[in-house]
Amino acid sequence: MYTCLVTEAQEAVVTAVFGPLVRVQLGEENLVVPFRRRLLWHEDTQDRRLVVGDRVKVLRERGGAVVAEVLPRRTTLMRKSPGEERPRVIAANVDQAVVVLAAKLPEPNPRLLDRLLVACHHAGIRPIVCVNKVDQGLELVEPWIGDYQDAGYEIFLTSARTARGMGNLKRALAGRTTLFCGPSGVGKSALLNAIHPGYRLQEGSISDATGKGRHTTTTAQLLPLPGGGFVVDTPGVKEFGLWDLKPEELSSCFPELQTLAAQCAFANCSHDREPDCQVRRAVEDGKVSSRRYASYLKLRGELAAGLYRS
Ligand SMILES: Nc1nc2c(ncn2[C@@H]2O[C@H](COP(=O)(O)OP(=O)(O)OP(=O)(O)O)[C@@H](O)[C@H]2O)c(=O)[nH]1
Ligand SMILES: [Mg+2]
Ligand SMILES: [Zn+2]
Nearest ligand to the CA of 186 is 1
* pTM > 0.85: yes or no: yes
| Fold of the domain built from segment(s) 247-304 | Ribonucleotide Reductase Protein R1; domain 1 (1.10.40)
Ligand 1 binding pocket includes 224 (Cβ within 6 Å): no
pLDDT-derived band at 133 (thresholds 50, 70, 90) equals very high
Separation of CA 271 and ligand 3 centre (Å): 3
Are the C-beta atoms of 195 and 173 separated by less than 8 Å? Answer: yes
Q: Enumerate the domain spans of the chain.
A: 10-70, 76-233, 247-304
- In this prediction, residue 310 carries a pLDDT of 36
Q: Share the mean pLDDT of the chain.
A: 93
Number of neighbouring beta carbons within 10 Å of residue 9? 13
> Closest residue (by CA) to atom 27 of ligand 1?
205
pLDDT-derived band at 210 (thresholds 50, 70, 90) equals low
> Closest residue (by CA) to atom 10 of ligand 1?
187
pLDDT-derived band at 206 (thresholds 50, 70, 90) equals low
**Interval 136-158 mean pLDDT:** 98
% of the chain surpassing 90 pLDDT: 82
Separation of CA 245 and ligand 1 centre (Å): 32
Q: State the Cα–Cα distance between residues 225 and 159, nearest whole angstrom.
A: 20
**Interval 83-106 mean pLDDT:** 93
- In this prediction, residue 213 carries a pLDDT of 62
3-class secondary-structure state, position 111: helix
Handedness of CA 176, 179, 185, 186 (dihedral sign): negative
Ligand 1 binding pocket includes 104 (Cβ within 6 Å): no
Separation of CA 278 and ligand 3 centre (Å): 5
Q: State the Cα–Cα distance between residues 46 and 49, nearest whole angstrom.
A: 9
pLDDT of 243 above 60: yes
| 76-233 is a CATH 3.40.50.300 domain | yes
Looking at per-residue pLDDT, the higher value among 21 and 46 belongs to 21
**Interval 212-241 mean pLDDT:** 92
Cα distances (Å, whole numbers) of residue 9 to 13, 47, 66, 70, 212: 13, 24, 10, 12, 45
pLDDT-derived band at 1 (thresholds 50, 70, 90) equals very low
Nearest ligand to the CA of 102 is 1
Separation of CA 234 and ligand 2 centre (Å): 7
pLDDT of 2 above 80: no
- In this prediction, residue 13 carries a pLDDT of 98
| Fold of the domain built from segment(s) 10-70 | OB fold (Dihydrolipoamide Acetyltransferase, E2P) (2.40.50)
pLDDT-derived band at 187 (thresholds 50, 70, 90) equals very high
**Interval 269-286 mean pLDDT:** 96
Nearest ligand to the CA of 191 is 1
pLDDT of 261 above 60: yes
Ligand 1 binding pocket includes 15 (Cβ within 6 Å): no
Closest ligand 1 atom to residue 136 Cα is: 1
